[in-house]
Amino acid sequence: MTQVHDFNAGIGSNGLFWTVQVPDDAVTISGDTLTISLKNQPLQDTLTFPVPGVTNPGTAGIPATVSFTITYQKSGHPRQVRPTSRDPLSPFNWAGEMWTATNSGTFSVAYADGTFSAQGSFSSGANFGEVGTERNGSFVRPEDDQGENQQSAAAAQSPPGPAAASVAAGQLTHATQAANPPKFRGKVPVEYFFH
């Protein structure tokens, strides 16, 4: 199969890739349902990834925007995840509470010059999915590490949580933490983890 499009936000100055920060007002939580609704988010279509010879693919693409609404429905009981590493840069240094979840939604994407657009809908169906809260890197607290247990083993097999929401194909992805993480004031970021 030949790749035709790759809509992404490029690589940020802090090293995050394919990710953009989702505004607080784009996320709605009601009971066991979480909805993210993002409108006209600027992106680039780099057509392929990686882009040969280009360090920051977000600067080499065709300007575009994406909009999507995705709803996650959690079910069952939460699974507790414990960190299996104390290294703040390790993908296994995260703790959280995760529920099984399904998702469905709609999306639209268009080039800024109007020469291309696409829209559609999606659903997780019977595929694996989770939703929950997590802390990673420097936000993991000492009390999150409760020793070796089944949850620690599960954490070692699970991918790391995202630093921000990715709008590529309407899914969320993980990102590596920068060597000099930003210092936050006020609200401590709480991240939602989706597959």
Residues 92 and 46: their CA atoms lie apart, in Å, by 30
Is residue 49 within 8 Å of 57, Cβ to Cβ? yes
What pLDDT, on the 0 to 100 scale, is given for residue 102?
94
What pLDDT, on the 0 to 100 scale, is given for residue 146?
63
Q: Which residues make Cβ contacts (< 8 Å) with residue 30, sequence separation at least 6?
A: none
Structure tokens at 142: 């000492």
Structure tokens at 59: 């600067």
Beta bridge partners of 44: 8, 63
pTM: 0.64
What pLDDT, on the 0 to 100 scale, is given for residue 65?
95
Q: For the chain, what are the domain ranges?
A: 7-192
What pLDDT, on the 0 to 100 scale, is given for residue 49?
67
Residues 134 and 150: their CA atoms lie apart, in Å, by 17
Q: What is the pLDDT of residues 71-119, one digit of tens each?
A: 999 999 999 999 998 888 888 999 999 999 999 999 999 999 999 999 9
Instruction: List the beta strands (DSSP E) in the chain.
Output: 7-8, 27-30, 33-45, 62-81, 94-111, 117-123, 130-136, 191-192
Is residue 43 within 8 Å of 9, Cβ to Cβ? yes
The one-digit pLDDT tens for each residue of the chain (195 residues) are 777 888 888 777 777 777 888 999 999 999 999 999 999 999 988 887 666 665 555 456 899 999 999 999 999 999 999 999 888 888 899 999 999 999 999 999 999 999 999 999 999 987 888 999 998 887 888 878 764 443 433 433 444 333 333 333 333 333 333 334 444 333 334 444 443
